[in-house]
Chain A
């Protein structure tokens, strides 16, 4: 789905939510708004806003009704009043005057007097626990952040910054001109709304909002500092995630405009066919193998396994004179689909041959198959961690050693086993260090905690070797959901492209979802390499960000909007999303 279609669909459903059964809306009424959700003005600017509010009150007090009427687009209190005043009833006239008073009450009343609609400034208690560093979605205001941060590196946001500094600070209501914030269109939509008929008695209890005294902010002003005790370092690293397969139109645009380019260390994910497999009832078929094979000799081009949505991604090479077709197999390896349709490979020229038999179909970007077979029943999940342990990865190793136990605790899937694998480079104490899958947290922690970051030296590391060894690991189980996190900051060596391509193909063939986690000091080529790994194995690209303040600067990837989260949260989320979760 193109990005614009995605956005349109999302907005459509979000808009449709407005008109769902009103009883459902009131049933789902949420509780108190958390204190961290309500952002006040920065204490640094409180004097400024107080002055502005006072000035506004004076100015608004001096502005006449005519300004409010003349500046209000599309809504004509004057005309409404006129229509009211045209009525002969005394009640109508009084109401119009009342409305007039309502609309202009802000500027007519003395700011020091209370208005029926003016509430006291609400203060909230800031929780004593350190707020989540990465929860920026509802709390970041560029103005506030800028007022706080004098350093070049972004400082993690904290609601401590935004406490109203002085008692008695009153937020005067916006002036009449600012009532224009509601656009006329919105009002018209409301007028034409219809509501499902449900006679529900509403008790009308006031909806509570927490009102508690201010807790003075800490002297740090809310800046997050890395704690000294390693055991307290859980959740410090911040990261973002991005799925190019789910943003394919966006990705293709980047390629077309040459914002990004491939191949990256032998991997070229650009020519993709997304195959969706369904059964005759229309349900997705998960966990079966789908292959692209050359049409002339049936030799394999690419093999992938359908995911939870029944989708498999096939990646095609460029060829001027060869074509391909699709095959699919059930969980036992029996062929359940042998396509007769033949498709062009990318690069086939437009030859204009009139002979229909020699012409093939253009390369399809999306295909749908119907097969008579059942989905694979996954009962277990295998999670592999592959970690670069050269010297530059010291911070990441330290924090992973702190985080890992809690990650295991928070994974909700059943039957999860983990494997820790490490690599450095030729000439170091070791090149690769492979371990099997285990469920014992103590064993796993011991393996991880025995590692330290050392060695390396030149930029490239033994990525090709570790991928070859881990993707060919005999312990991968066909009936398991398979995830492999590759945590690294350096690209593979030049000249290892064939090895890498073979390893990635092996991963895709087995349904291993590669999740590259790119760390600090990485270059663009490393980012593109990571993204190619993710695309070609139906994984996801994860990247550390500067928000934690830990480590060196992190490269901002060329992607769309993303949310900054704790790395630990992202790892847990990804495992839970791919894995088998009990109801």
Chain B
């Protein structure tokens, strides 16, 4: 059964869609959630909720890339859970770090013309990322979509932590210039 057929099960309101999703993507969901929520119990709870969210979202959604859709739903749910729990560790964790790192990508938007719709921003980021090497692209997405820590990125890529940080810093600076050149006005 491919993903299109799996989606058809959702449309048919066949519960087998859920067990099939859990079988195919359960571990994947856990992996995405575990990188955002360090406590396993929280990640498990979120993954359970993801299945229900998928059930409710499809239909009317018919995602072309089901795995990416699952990743987005899981990420969103994990971030919501994290916010709900209001964990306040010293240092804040990956999410506040990522927010702070990305702060400079968009200059301060006091000019109404500078306000980019999120979809437009997403498209620009996608275009920018497609112009990068695979290694750099993966680093950026693993940091800011999958929210991996610097340590995990280093282990994942084989680069040193310093190299990871410097590469990400440069990419953020490049992205900022890219957005400005694409007409994002300061």
Binding site for B on A (CB under 8 A): 1-2, 5-34, 37-41, 75, 80, 84, 91-92, 95, 98-99, 102-103, 116-117, 119, 122, 132, 135-142, 171, 173-174, 178-179, 181-183, 186-187, 189-191, 193, 195-202, 204-209, 282-283, 308-309, 410-412, 561-564, 569, 572-573, 576-577, 581
Contact = CB atoms under 8 A, between A and B. Distances in A.
Contacts of A140: 89-90
Contact of A564 (B60, B91, B129, B173): B91
Contacts, number: 322
Given A37-B35, A207-B28, A18 B75 contact: yes
A75 B67 CA distance: 25
A186 B122 CA distance: 18
A34 B103 contact: no
Contact of B130 (A14, A24, A38): A24
Contacts of B75: 18
Nearest to B67: A202
Contact of A33 (B35, B51, B64): B35
Contacts of B67: 22, 26, 202, 204
Contacts of A135: 149, 151
A575 to B, nearest CB: 9
A202 B52 CA distance: 21
Contacts of B91: 136-137, 561-564
Given A10-B102, A13-B144, A33-B34, 5 more contacts: A186-B76, A187-B53, A190-B76, A563-B97, A564-B91
A19 B76 CA distance: 11
B50 to A, nearest CB: 8
Nearest to A136: B91
A190 B126 contact: no
Contacts of B64: 22, 195-200
30 contacts: A9-B108, A13-B106, A13-B125, A19-B119, A20-B126, A20-B141, A27-B134, A28-B146, A30-B152, A34-B151, A38-B40, A95-B15, A116-B18, A117-B51, A136-B89, A137-B91, A138-B35, A174-B41, A179-B48, A181-B45, A181-B84, A182-B80, A190-B72, A190-B73, A198-B65, A201-B2, A202-B3, A207-B30, A308-B173, A576-B165
B71 A25 contact: yes
Interface in B35-50: 35, 38-41, 44-46, 48-49
B53 A20 contact: no
Contacts of A24: 126, 129-130, 137, 141
A309 to B, nearest CB: 7
A10 B138 contact: no
Interface in B96-122: 96-109, 118-119, 121-122
Interface in B152-186: 152, 155-156, 160-163, 165-166, 169, 173, 177, 180-181
A38 to B, nearest CB: 6
Contacts of B2: 201-202, 204
A15 B145 CA distance: 9
Interface string B3-47: 100100000111100110011111111110011001111001110
Contacts of A2: 108
Given A1-B108, A564-B91, A20 B103 contact: no
Nearest to B33: A33
A51 to B, nearest CB: 15
B72 A173 contact: no
B93 A137 contact: yes
B60 A191 contact: yes
Contact of B99 (A14, A84, A189): A14
Contacts of B28: 29, 206-207
A102 B180 CA distance: 49
A370 to B, nearest CB: 13
A191 B15 contact: no
Given A141-B38, A191-B57, A561-B96, A9 B52 contact: no
Residue of A12, A41, A136, A173 ringed by the most chain B CB atoms within 10 A: A12
B44 A173 contact: yes
A31 B76 contact: no
B71 A573 contact: no
A569 B94 contact: no
A137 B97 contact: yes
A410 B31 contact: no
B141 A10 contact: no
Contacts of B165: 573, 576-577
A171 B43 CA distance: 12
